[in-house]
Amino acid sequence: MYPIPDHLKPYLTPVGEENSELYVHGAVHCSCGCTLFTPYVNDAGTIAAAKCHQCGEKLLLFHAGRHGWDGFVAKADYLYDLSGKLKPISACPHCYAVTPLVIMLTIASLGREDFIQGSELTDEHGRKLREEDWVNAFSSFRMDIACPQCGQTSESIIDIETA
Ligand SMILES: [Zn+2]
Ligand SMILES: [Zn+2]
């Protein structure tokens, strides 16, 4: 069981050997199968989205006010600067080629048992949570992008503690 939040389950393919209940690293793909996107982020690095290069579908990848322990369980969206327009990343930060990009996500979690004990299966607003919601209460989120032109990866376009 990997800590892939519900909103990313259809879109994230785990990659590598290190994945566990506490950590998942993977590549984003659209529901059409395409793996190239225009990523969008706000200045504060608290919201990330992506637009599919092939079909134009827009995916919300991360929103600090809704996802992770603080957003999902503690309802502590006031901790985050959620202002600012989402801006596209339309060129590779390494080679400056204007190109759609590969998106890699890394999500860390304190695990299912920690979530059940810590939340007592209720969020800050008194709403019931399910044991399966442990995946939505992750503790950090990182987004990297890779360029299909030069092959370089630009790490930590977003890198945020969410608990
Ligand atoms: Zn698509
Ligand atoms: Zn490049």
Ligand nearest to the CA of 146: 2
Give residue-wise pLDDT tens across range 84-116: 999 999 999 999 999 999 999 999 999 999 999
Mean pLDDT score, 40-68: 98
- DSSP 8-state class, residue 65: T
Determine the distance separating the centroid of ligand 1 and the alpha carbon of 12, expressed in angstroms.
13
**SS3 label, residue 156:** strand
Ligand nearest to the CA of 56: 1
Q: Alpha-carbon distance 41 to 86, whole Å? A: 5
Q: Give residue 141's pLDDT band: very low, low, confident or very high (50, 70, 90).
A: very high
Determine the distance separating the centroid of ligand 1 and the alpha carbon of 121, expressed in angstroms.
35
Residue 91 forms part of a structural domain = yes
Q: List the one residue out of 113, 101, 84 whose CA is nearest residue 144.
A: 101
Looking from the CA of 119 toward its CB, the CA atoms found within 13 Å total 34
Percent of the chain with pLDDT over 70: 100
List, as one string, the DSSP characters of 81-94: ---S--EE--B-TT
Q: What is the residue range of 33's domain?
A: 6-161
Determine the distance separating the centroid of ligand 2 and the alpha carbon of 38, expressed in angstroms.
14
Q: Alpha-carbon distance 129 to 141, whole Å? A: 21
Q: Alpha-carbon distance 37 to 21, whole Å? A: 27
Residue 89 forms part of a structural domain = yes
**SS3 label, residue 22:** coil
Ligand nearest to the CA of 148: 2
Ligand nearest to the CA of 95: 2
Residue 1 forms part of a structural domain = no
The per-residue pLDDT for 43 is 96
Structural domains of the chain, count: 1
